[in-house]
Amino acid sequence: MSRFIILGGACCALLYWIFFQPSSGSGDVASRQTLSISEEQDRIVFGWSGPVQEPMSERIAAALDRYKDDRRRLVLILNSPGGSIQHGRKVVAAIRARDRAIDTLVQKAGVCASMCVPIFLAGTTRMADPDSYFMFHQASLTSSAEENMKRKELGDAEKALLSQTVKIIETQATDDFFRNDIGIRGVNAVWLASMRRKISGRDIWMSGQDLVAEGSGIVDSLVRTPAR
């Protein structure tokens, strides 16, 4: 009985791992993140490339604050494989806290996957090249959480219970993600519910053109752009 009480504690700890576990190798992550800034006559373009992890929110916030008194149009170009749900929410909060129009764009052959999608949705106007790519999938444990699970010394019954608990938590996290992070302004609720069903156990890739053709409400307008 005591072993199952301990296991219950381990299951609760999964909540911490899923939502609050710091990413391992943060230095390596930072080395794969780039933020470019281009000043044009009528707009300022921020280009983000890399995972949604620390220190993305801090870098985006600092860049936006640098131009807080500049009245030119602000555009955030995204090219990201996704990353941490919790950190992505910090990025969204940083964008919304600036209280001004900030458009988002995914260029030709660019990728906006997973947690990148809610960041894209934070744009005042959401633009995409017809040949840009978006990806939707289930929430999952961080790689460090998976490694922690492998190290735990548990019996077969405990492993089975833990595996079931993980599935339940991941399902709940995915439902929350779709409802609160993707299901926002202008997104088609019927389309979103259909996508939620499709992603069970697999990644779904769609082009900007596909999203507009299906009436998803994810992309406001299609724009032709040069390849990134």
Q: Does 16 have pLDDT greater than 50? A: no
Bigger pLDDT: 4 or 189?
189
Contact, 74 vs 104, CB < 8 A? no
Quickly tell me which residue has 């219950």 as its tokens. Answer: 8
Neighbours of 151 (CB within 10 A): 6
Please write the tens of the pLDDT for every residue from 68-122: 999 999 999 999 999 999 999 999 999 999 989 999 999 999 999 999 999 999 9
Q: Does 22 have pLDDT greater than 90? A: no
pLDDT at 168: 85
d(CA 149, CA 167): 14
Neighbours of 104 (CB within 10 A): 26
Give me the residue spans of the domains in the chain: 30-222
Bigger pLDDT: 176 or 16?
176
Q: Does 201 have pLDDT greater than 60? A: yes
| Segment among 103-117, 158-172, 199-213 with least mean pLDDT | 158-172
Task: Identify the CATH homologous superfamily for domain 30-222.
Answer: 2-enoyl-CoA Hydratase; Chain A, domain 1 (3.90.226.10)
Please write the tens of the pLDDT for every residue from 51-66: 999 999 999 999 999 9
pLDDT at 178: 96
Neighbours of 75 (CB within 10 A): 21
| Segment among 24-28, 83-87, 126-130 with least mean pLDDT | 24-28
CA distance to 149, 151, 173, per residue, from 11 (Å):
10, 14, 14
In this prediction, what percent of the chain has a pLDDT beyond 70? 80
Strands across the sheet with 43-49, in order? Answer: 34-39, 43-49, 73-79, 102-106, 126-128, 221-222
